[in-house]
């Protein structure tokens, strides 16, 4: 244990059956908030995330595997499925992100589990949801991003659609799965009954598509790729400085007037081409060129000083080294250092969001190997002794 578990979900029992990103990210969020997360992995293989990531050392696992205990159970055989059902008999939340139908095939479907544990909340994350004509299709985060509308509007209009650079579809689906689980816990407090939380990758993406659908429905507007800008919102872009790039968001009328003053061109604020939000949107390219010509004469430090002086929303374009040396990140402990047996310590994003009275924490480092906590969890929850565990391991059940 790295530190005391003071999270809001302390005492809540979670069993995570998923792998890769979407389901395990949901488990990470619940674990960060204090839940006791037991992760079931395939014996000898484990979650593929253990070996994912860039660089020589595959350290992504240190983030998505934190605050979880690992148990290795072969869910493809009847005895493994029986062990899982025993673990789920007194659990509060189960998370899975297998292809729909898999849990039914294993005898771990909602009807079976609710017969054993009526209060169990079952979070099911999948590409297309648990029903509908596409439900039995395989789906990854990128596919959900494409179907949900994200990919079509990201990137340069003269190039194919771009990806964000992170698996945002998976993370969104995991986040909405966590949100649903928390809402279901509230209902269970009133009714005593659990329910199924159905989080589809494409629908999780669809939720953050703002006015994309309604604009098309009402006005026939089709959002397209617009590069680094949001069409009609200006000035709001990343602009060149003499030593790098800097983000400015000055699209409100009053804010733009302050920017024009900071630029030494206050007349821009009353110029009919730029005086209103609508006019600035129409003349977006021309206005961006004016701002860019001015910022190019300044260093990032000089530009930032002016943005602060004139109270203009703006900021540096951060990469990992910038985050690690930034005083605001440090003051809020947005990045924390976690002891690690292999690396001494690793720096990673802290738990979020912040709760004032029951703060989340990284109280357990990611497991070192699949099944590291077999004896601890299966002994504690199921009362299995050393001989029974050894016999199960010999037969490949755990």
Q: Which residues are CB-neighbours of 218 under 8 A, at least 6 positions away?
A: none
Closest CA to 317 of 212, 165, 171, 206: 165
Is residue 109 among the annotated active site residues? Answer: no
Give CA–CA dist 80/244, Å, rounded. 56
Token pair in block for residue 134: 């596409």
Token pair in block for residue 5: 């578990």
Q: Which residues are CB-neighbours of 345 under 8 A, at least 6 positions away?
A: 337, 338, 339
How many residues in total does the chain contain?
398
C-beta separation of 31 from 6 below 8 A: no
Catalytic residue of the set 170, 219, 243, 292: 170
Closest CA to 35 of 24, 46, 43, 27: 27
- Tokens 């997360």 locate to 37
Q: Please name the helix (run of DSSP H) or strand (run of DSSP E) that holds residue 23, with its range, or none.
A: helix 22-32
Catalytic residue set? 170
């Amino acid at each position: 244990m790295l530190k005391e578990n003071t999270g809001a979900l302390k005492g809540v029992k979670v069993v995570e059956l998923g792998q890769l990103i979407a389901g395990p990210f949901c488990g990470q969020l619940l674990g960060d908030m204090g839940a006791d997360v037991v992760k079931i992995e395939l014996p000898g293989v484990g979650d593929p995330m253990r070996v994912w990531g860039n660089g020589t050392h595959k350290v992504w696992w240190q983030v998505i595997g934190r605050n979880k205990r690992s148990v290795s159970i072969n869910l493809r055989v009847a005895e493994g499925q029986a062990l899982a059902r025993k673990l789920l008999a007194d659990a509060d939340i189960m998370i899975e992100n297998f292809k729909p139908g898999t849990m039914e095939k294993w005898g771990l479907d909602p009807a079976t589990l609710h017969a054993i544990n009526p209060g169990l909340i079952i979070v099911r994350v999948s590409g297309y949801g648990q029903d509908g004509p596409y439900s039995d299709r395989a789906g990854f985060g990128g596919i959900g991003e494409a179907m949900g509308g994200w990919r079509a509007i990201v990137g340069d209009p003269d190039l194919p659609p771009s990806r964000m650079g992170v698996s945002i579809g998976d993370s969104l689906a995991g986040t909405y799965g966590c949100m649903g689980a928390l809402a279901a816990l509230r209902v269970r407090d009133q009714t005593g009954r659990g329910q199924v939380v159905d989080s589809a990758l494409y629908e999780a993406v669809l939720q953050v598509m703002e006015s994309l659908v309604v604009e098309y429905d009402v006005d026939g507007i089709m959002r397209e790729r617009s590069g680094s800008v949001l069409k009609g919102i200006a000035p709001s872009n990343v602009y060149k400085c003499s030593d790098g790039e800097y983000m400015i968001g000055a699209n409100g009328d009053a804010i733009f007037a302050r920017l024009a003053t900071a630029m030494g061109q206050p007349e821009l604020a009353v110029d009919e081409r730029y005086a209103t939000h609508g006019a600035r949107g129409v003349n977006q390219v021309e206005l961006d060129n004016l701002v860019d010509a001015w910022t190019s004469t300044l260093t990032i430090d000089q530009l930032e000083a002016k943005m602060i002086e004139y109270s203009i929303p703006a900021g540096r374009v951060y990469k990992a080294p910038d985050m690690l040396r930034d005083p605001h990140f440090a003051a809020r402990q947005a990045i924390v250092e976690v002891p690690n047996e292999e690396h001494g310590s690793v720096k990673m994003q802290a738990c979020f969001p912040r709760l004032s009275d029951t703060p989340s924490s990284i109280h357990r480092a990611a497991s070192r190997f699949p099944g590291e906590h077999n004896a601890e969890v299966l002994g504690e929850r199921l009362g299995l002794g050393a001989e029974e565990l050894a016999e199960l391991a010999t037969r490949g059940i755990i």
